[in-house]
Amino acid sequence: MNTPQRVEHAMTDKGYVPLYATGVVEQPWDTYSATDHAVWGQLYRRQRALLPDLACSAFLKAQDAMGMGETQIPRFDDLNEILARSTGWRIIGVEGLLPELDFFDHLANRRFPVTWWIRRPDQIDYIAEPDLFHDLFGHVPLLMNPVFADYMQAYGQGGVRAHGIGPEALVNLTRLYWYTVEFGLIREASGLRIYGAGIVSSAGESKHSIQSDAPNRIGFDLKRIMRTRYRIDTYQKTYFVIDDFEQLFDATRPDFAPIYAELKPHESFPAGSVQPGDRVITRGTGEGWLSDGDV
Ligand code: HBI
Ligand code: FE
């Protein structure tokens, strides 16, 4: 495998994070080693064994339709042929986490940035930053769903606007991404199911988010989410549950500028709190929660 083009480390609200070169790169598929393909295969098999009872049907259906499999790391070009025909989205290769405005601009133009490199075997269970497995296995399948695909674009457009409004607006909007695109749950006839990429790409959190008594599960509420801090280094203390993807897309119809202004004087909520007015689906026991570390 080539070497990722890491540019610098920067202190952010999420701690000390690596920043990468922002250019779009061709997926260097021929440079993946047997170990890289084996890491993909191991992660793919483990998640696909777990997810039939845990992930939402749209995710599972889309992943099959895209032809992702365990034998080798998928080629972006192959996935793009299928994506282009279904929703007009396209994946592009990137070195890793992008500055927010670059990231939003890609989404606003229906381009999803996928990290081209995959984690090492000793990082199978946890990696702090997005790699190819998280981006491709976790995020890309739902881009095949027309309503979710439109939500992602609307989010990117909202991100570009929030970036122009200021840092507090961006914090509000980032929480929406976190509690939906990364860690969202959806109600299906068979029960609660996962759609968030951060969950479907994690064996531990896939089980925890659906089966554990520890976390709160609360009905989706845009302003509530925008005020809620989150966890980056432990399982979430709270998951927000949508009824369908239309609910998510509809939430992005209003102009967020007045909402940011309304929320500005208010304090944020701790990640594990239950608030008056919450539609509580399950109130968590809080077992195993660390008392600090919300961001
Ligand atoms: N860059 N490549 C990449 N992938 C992400 O998921 C990502 C990013 N940059 C910023 C970012 N996510 C977050 O700040 C979200 O708020 C959008
Ligand atoms: Fe992600």
Atom of ligand 1 nearest to the CA of 159: 17
The domains of the chain are located at: 10-282
Nearest CA among 136, 139, 142 for reference residue 40 = 136
Catalytic position from the list 8, 57, 168, 182: 182
How much of the chain, in percent, has pLDDT values that exceed 90? 91
Protein residue whose Cα sits closest to atom 4 of ligand 1: 97
- CA quadruple 112, 45, 185, 84: dihedral sign: positive
Q: How large is the average pLDDT for residues 58-64? A: 97
Q: How large is the average pLDDT for residues 30-35? A: 97
- Predicted pLDDT of residue 21: 76
* Pocket of ligand 1 contains residue 181 by CB under 6 Å: no
Query: What residues contact 278, with CB distance under 8 A and at least 6 apart?
Result: 218, 219, 221, 224
Distance, CA of 230 to CA of 247 (rounded, Å): 22
**Domain 10-282 fold:** Phenylalanine Hydroxylase (1.10.800)
Structure tokens at 37: 């393909």
Neighbours of 31 (CB within 10 A): 12
240 has which bridge partners? 218
pLDDT tens digits for range 223-279? 999 999 999 989 999 999 999 999 999 999 999 999 999 999 999 999 999 999 999
* Pocket of ligand 1 contains residue 197 by CB under 6 Å: no
For the chain, percent helix, then strand, then coil, each to nearest 5?
45, 15, 40
Residue pair 203/50 in contact (Cβ under 8 Å)? The answer is: yes
Q: Which stretches does DSSP call E strand in 47-155?
A: 90-94, 111-115
- Helices vs. strands in the chain: H and E counts, helices first: 12, 9
Q: How large is the average pLDDT for residues 79-90? A: 98
**247-255 LR contacts (CB < 8 Å, sep 24+):** 247/220, 248/147, 248/148, 248/151, 248/180, 248/184, 248/220, 249/147, 249/148, 249/150, 249/151, 249/154, 251/220, 251/222, 252/151, 252/154, 252/155, 252/158, 253/154
- Predicted pLDDT of residue 2: 72
- What does pTM read for this prediction? 0.94
